[in-house]
Homo-oligomer: A and B are copies of this chain.
């Protein structure tokens, strides 16, 4: 008789415990989800030239999928800079990254894009044909890594300098992704999380992506 009661009591306690645990998990998940959904849209302007700072911690953390590891010991300053902010926004991609860049030679940004590709982010790159084969260009490296790249055929420049992260965040401005520009030029980059602007730039990207499809190249000899 007493044993039965103790058993029932034990089972009830376990059930209540499990229910509370589940409830706690659900509330936590919901709060996190709502916080992510309802955080204010990102709005920032980055001005360049950027201070030269160490970005190793950022890139290593991305590679290891964790928080930044122990401080790097190189002699560069380790604070935030316009370049590190830009890198963080690019590295925040989880599912897709569209790049539409006149010139792309900065090694840190190149490594960031490469890492995202390795981690399963769908990366597509559009660039200008005149600049993609220059010394230091990242385009060849990205192609070798298996990233899809398309380019114009030389009539006018593909002069855009924008990126779209997860089809939600637009990164656009005057900055070509070159170290020369990042460290020496007066430049601006807008970070905009706004459905309308993102939609318009994504449509432009898709237009260009189709137009630059290699099946449309006219410099290949026509099949007979």
Closest to A197 in B: B45
A contacts with B: majority SS:
mixed
Q: Which parts of A141-156 form the interface with B (CB within 8 Å)?
A: 152, 155-156
CB-CB nearest in chain B for A159: B185
Q: Give the oligomeric copy count.
A: 2
In the bound assembly, the distance between CA atoms of A156 and B185 in angstroms comes to 5
Judge whether A184 and B155 touch: CB under 8 Å.
Answer: yes
Q: Mark A162-176, 1 if CB is under 8 A from B, else 0.
A: 100000000011110
Cβ contacts under 8 Å, A200 to chain B: 45
Q: Is A217 an interface residue (CB 8 A)?
A: no
A35–B49 Cα gap in the complex (Å)? 41
Binds B, one of A13-21, A113-121, A186-194: A186-194
Residues of B within 8 A of A102 (CB): 174
Decide yes or no whether A43 CB sits under 8 A from chain B.
yes
Which residue of B152, B175, B201 contacts A45 across the interface (Cβ within 8 Å)? B201
State whether A161 and B174 are in contact (beta carbons under 8 Å apart), knowing that A43-B196, A45-B197 are contacts in the complex: yes
